[in-house]
Structure 1
Amino acid sequence: MDSLTQIVLGASVGEAVCGRRLGNKATLWGAIAGTIPDLDVLFNPWLDMVEQLSFHRSLTHSFLFAVLVSPALGWLLHRLYRHTAATFFDWTWLFFLGFTTHALLDSFTTWGTQLFWPFSTYGVAFYNIFVVDPFYTVPFLAFVLAAAFHNRHSQKRRRLNTLGLLISSAYLIFSFVAQAKANKVFEKNLQQQHIMYTSYISKPTPLNTFFWAVTAKTEHGYYTGFYSLFDREEEISFHYEPRQQHLLQAYRGDEKLERLLEITKGYYAVSEAEKGIHISDLRFGQFDGWRKSGGRYVFVYHVWQNDVGKLQFEEINYRPKPDQAYLKAYLNRIFGK
């Protein structure tokens, strides 16, 4: 999830653990605990593109990190605030829950989280919430801020924080229900259109959990379709993307290329580039993919050989700035218009 959301979640967890003993210090340090896992990006200057993709959401997002680092930080903060009522266990619990809730929330998004690193580099992903979702964050933020203005012994402070946790958690549960509804429609349409798929990924489109996209994998390519919970009809028009795996043959066997393909979980399409090839990560789909005209893939990786035959990698990020007309059309599509 985005940084603001993780700060809000961490602050609320800190308040729940130590708010009565520490007041807003618990909120502050909870927010810091919710931010620490994302500091893995500080290593990016020393890593190449594939290493960055592989390292992101690994060590600092793992259960092992939470188990080993939480007691160390707990001891440090217990020493720093030794005149407060918070114990070493309180501080350790604050950091442990701050780290683990951060990692678990990230695992609900499309990218996935290496929760079991270093024993497994698999990115656990449930694809049930977009990385930025105001329906989750804004109400949660409002309750956490409101709680901070009350005395640490106030029952109202605890109720406000608890409500924030409950409402945000209820929204996450709703996202799974919405995903299940969308999956039912996607599966019915795939069957009716005689599309023989081996697996599929369904995920929400940006900023909501009402409008969903699916990418279904077949033997030679992928079918992508869209469905909104507000659609009056349950008929899906699928777009086909060939995998073109044969374009990879000249590059297979390279350790970093294989890791890149592993990161995509097999949801990639290859196309020729002026130099080398482009690998599109289909998990994230196309910007404007819901329109009939389609759009460009959000994450594309350029792969080519240098003069000595070593593979080079470059990430091509397509993050357009939507104008008012686009936002209006997108909102209309979300609500089935």
Structure 2
Amino acid sequence: MDPVTHLAVGALGGQALRKPLRRDKHVLVFCLLAAWLPDIDNFIGILGPEFYLIHHRGLTHSFLGAILLAALFVWIFRWFVPSFSFIRGFVLVYLLIALHIFLDLITSYGTQIFFPFTNARYAVTSVFIIDPIYTLVMLFCMYRSAKYLKTRKTLALLGLAWVFIYPAFNLGVRYGLEYYLEQRFVREGVAFNAFDVSTDVLSPFFWKVIVDQGDAYQLGGVNVFKLRQPLTFTRYEKADNNLFREFGQISSLFATYHWFFDFPIMRTEQIEKETLITFGDLRFATAAPFLQHQRNNDQLPFTLTMVLDEQQKPVRYQYQRRGREQVVLLIE
């Protein structure tokens, strides 16, 4: 989830705890920092893309890691506010970190909540990574709770309740769509091994549908207000697992990508004398009509490209994270 939403939850937590006519601002600062704290692992990106993919949303986003993180944070915070209770502070930080983990768990990116026992990523996809409806309601409750001191706690608690109500509603919509689409695919003779309904830019009104057809994926979108409209799909070639294994022997980054991706796709293109094989994940694609230009896998947030020479020998590979400079690595 985006940083603004995490901070909004922290502010709501601080407003719920502060007493109406007191100026204990350190509680609000404490809650804001605690709510953002697990994302401190973003700084590991300086150690390279592979380290980032493996460890972001890892230890600091796990239930066990949260114990260590909460204890360390309260210990440091007490340097500045010695009167702050360690036990109460620890419980509060752990709860706010748990809320942070929850907010990341409801997105499609996945979170290693049981690390270090397993590095499996879990997701209960119900909210898009940036959801204006979700965040604006929280910000509204936060603003009103700051403005009206006598009802501060009630308004803040309503905002915290919204943290759970909205994803639960979206999850119900998602499950309803899955049932509807399964019936419709059977009725219309759409071939599929499996399919997945996931959040998109306009969820809960617009949802992404990924249909597994064996050797390919089909990506489409469904509008909950226009369910009778014909479904249109874009075909993507599935990534070749053998290529992942072959390239993984050259660089472990390809093996990491294979672990990280849920719906791996690939595109092969010829540029002059070189062959480029680009891998991406439809988990990060969009089917929103006004974002059609992002349907190519070179527009996805995380892509990895192997470049082959005329003899089909790997000569370099390129990692691209959207919004960042492309990383090019030569093969010796």
TM-score, reference length from structure 1: 0.81
Q: Which residue of 2 aligns with 1:157?
A: 152
Distance 1:251 1:39, change over 3 A: same
C-alpha distance in structure 1 between counterparts of 2:277 and 2:176, whole Å: 37
| Secondary structure, aligned partner of 1:160 | helix
Does residue 169 (structure 1) correspond to residue 174 (structure 2)? The answer is no
Does residue 258 (structure 1) correspond to residue 255 (structure 2)? The answer is yes
Does residue 112 (structure 1) correspond to residue 110 (structure 2)? The answer is yes
Q: Which residue of 2 aligns with 1:57?
A: 57
Does residue 317 (structure 1) correspond to residue 322 (structure 2)? The answer is yes
Does residue 80 (structure 1) correspond to residue 85 (structure 2)? The answer is no
- For 2:224, give the aligned amino acid: L
Aligned residues of 1:12 and 1:165 also touching (Cα < 8 A)? yes
Q: Which residue of 1 aligns with 2:90?
A: 92
Aligned residues of 2:217 and 2:235 also touching (Cα < 8 A)? yes
C-alpha distance in structure 2 between counterparts of 1:79 and 1:281, whole Å: 45
User: For 1:50-98, what per-residue CA distance to the aligned partner results, in whole angstroms no more than 9, with x for missing partners?
Assistant: 2222222112211122111212322443453344xx5322211121112
Q: Which residue of 2 aligns with 1:301?
A: 303
Q: Which residue of 1 aligns with 2:31?
A: 30
C-alpha distance in structure 2 between counterparts of 1:42 and 1:71, whole Å: 20
Aligned residues of 1:186 and 1:214 also touching (Cα < 8 A)? no
Task: Give the counterpart of 2:144 among 135, 143, 146.
Answer: 146
1:236: Cα distance to partner?
Answer: 2.3
- For 2:77, give the aligned amino acid: L
Aligned residues of 1:289 and 1:295 also touching (Cα < 8 A)? no
Distance 1:221 1:42, change over 3 A: same
Q: Which residue of 2 aligns with 1:268?
A: 264
Distance 1:209 1:102, change over 3 A: same
Moved more, 271-280 or 249-258: 249-258
Q: Which residue of 2 aligns with 1:11?
A: 11
- For 2:254, give the aligned amino acid: L
| Secondary structure, aligned partner of 1:57 | coil
TM-score, reference length from structure 2: 0.82
C-alpha distance in structure 2 between counterparts of 1:318 and 1:187, whole Å: 37
1:22: Cα distance to partner?
Answer: 7.1
C-alpha distance in structure 2 between counterparts of 1:244 and 1:42, whole Å: 30
Aligned residues of 1:129 and 1:204 also touching (Cα < 8 A)? yes
1:150: Cα distance to partner?
Answer: 4.7
| Secondary structure, aligned partner of 2:304 | strand
1:163: Cα distance to partner?
Answer: 1.3
Distance 1:218 1:318, change over 3 A: farther
Aligned residues of 1:178 and 1:209 also touching (Cα < 8 A)? yes
Q: Which residue of 1 aligns with 2:220?
A: 225
Distance 1:13 1:230, change over 3 A: same
Moved more, 184-193 or 33-42: 184-193
User: For 1:189-214, what per-residue CA distance to the aligned partner results, in whole angstroms no more than 9, with x for missing partners?
Assistant: 33234444343332122143110011
C-alpha distance in structure 2 between counterparts of 1:291 and 1:188, whole Å: 28
Determine what percentage of the aligned residue pairs are the same residue: 23
| Secondary structure, aligned partner of 2:18 | helix
C-alpha distance in structure 1 between counterparts of 2:292 and 2:101, whole Å: 36
C-alpha distance in structure 2 between counterparts of 1:53 and 1:165, whole Å: 30
Computed over aligned residues only, the root mean square deviation of the Cα atoms, in angstroms, reads 2.9
C-alpha distance in structure 1 between counterparts of 2:294 and 2:320, whole Å: 21
1:290: Cα distance to partner?
Answer: 7.4
Figure out how many residues of one structure are paired with residues of the other and give that number: 311
Structure 2 segments unaligned to the other structure (5+ residues): 325-332
1:182: Cα distance to partner?
Answer: 1.9
Structure 1 segments unaligned to the other structure (5+ residues): 320-337
1:172: Cα distance to partner?
Answer: 1.5
User: For 1:19-63, what per-residue CA distance to the aligned partner results, in whole angstroms no more than 9, with x for missing partners?
Assistant: 23874432221111111211212121222x222222221122111
